Structure 1
Amino acid sequence: MELFSLKGKRAVITGGTHGLGMAMAEGLAKAGAELIITGTTPQKLEEALEYYKSFGFAASGYIFDVTDETAAIDNVARMEEEHGPIDILVNNAGIIKRVLAVDMPIEDFRRVIEVDLVGAFIMSRQVAKRMIERRSGKIINICSMMSELGRTNVSAYASAKGGLKMLTKNLATEWAPYNIQVNGIGPGYFATSQTEPIRVDGNPFNEFIISRTPAGKWGDPEDLAGTAVFLSSKASDFVNGQIIYVDGGILATIGKPSNE
């Protein structure tokens, strides 16, 4: 299993204080990586660090907004000064605004694009400058099924995630000569604290997701860990510019006929 080992590696996970980001960070730590977590809420960051350290994982945290380029420049420099070279970057920080396109304020649309797309670009640039010098690195962008599909109420989110998919491919193309692999993970629908209110019997959306997913269930956040470890390890050294969708098969089918 040495091919998948992350011992001696340092992984930065933006927004790794809860949900899917935390699940992926935990997976990387179990594979041996030192965790460097970013967040914007001090209390959430402290709680997350306590959680990681309760398992004996090496973990530290930094508070800043990934859309603030000056803050990103300063904090990435601090990370490397205080911990050593960043080997892995997981661009997980993101937000969503569920509003019909005709009703969405332009400032809300711009904010989603800033966090979900521009923030990933800012962080990737700063980390990659150092990876290029070392001629080694892994960058993972957390995309979405909305990188491929449309849905009511998520025009800004889908625009950002579609853009992130193409940013992934372009950065992979530019940085491949420096032995940097840039790939994406596209999660499907997962059982998290955010989706808990709608994951109840009788809820139309819950029934829709279960019937729409060939696996017939919501994903467990731990299901993302293996993909994150793979894309962070030597096992994926010749995998570049790809989006791996971890969705229980949703994108593989148009759904079940209504008479089944």
Structure 2
Amino acid sequence: MDHAGVLALFDHDMREGARPDGLDARVEPVGGVVRRVASARGWNGVVWSDLAEADAVIAGQIAYFSRLGLEFEWKLYGHDLPVDLGQRLRAAGFEPEPGETLMIAEAARLDLDAEPPEGIRLLPVTDAAGVDLLVDVHEQAFGADGSRMRHQLLARLTGEPDTIVATVALAGDVPVSAARMELVPGTRFAGLWGGGTVEAWRGRGVYRALVAHRARAAVERGYRYLQVDASSQSRPILERMGFAPLTTTTPYTYVP
């Protein structure tokens, strides 16, 4: 895989050419940035930037989202310019969250035969009951409130069901792992998000099986690449499966 070429393609498709991914969302290219604007229960932030006057543009985005009363995120990638953009964001009042690694693979080249371990079955999430199971896993695995995720998943499944593939892994009737894949029509990338496993089931191959399951779904739908913002825990698993680390990504959050 041509790493530099694929990274440039990712920037073009998923950042500079970002598309709305929700019924209540809009994407606005303005003043050197591309920003996504949604309701308070959606994701709001800057997904791409090309800055000459960085401080002025940062101040403009703070003013814009503050007028709307919205918390927002500036999604900074390791190759973004200027090189001190992270320092400038912190100076303007943004708080950085833990960084992750942008990893990309050609979906058809992965090991797609990885099956769930014995005693685990995969359940497609198609309704509110399935969303509740997925959110339960998310809250256990990450220790985070899942109310915003519940709202977003229900909205996608109701209004745009072809843009998401969500799955829960069950041990009997108990949800032990879950993940989703978000699809943006017209792009070549499918995004893998939210892969989390409760502590008692980690290290048994459940996460790997969920990656393979979503990769098969991406290939069936005609997507060439899979993209993951990988934590330090998932990165080694993904590298063994054939994902390549291309750059870093760090969310910078601003609360009005």
TM surpasses 0.5: no
Structure with more relative contact order (C-alpha pairs < 8 Å, separation 6 or more):
2
Which of the two has greater strand per residue?
Answer: 2
Which of the two has greater helix per residue?
Answer: 1
TM norm structure 2: 0.31
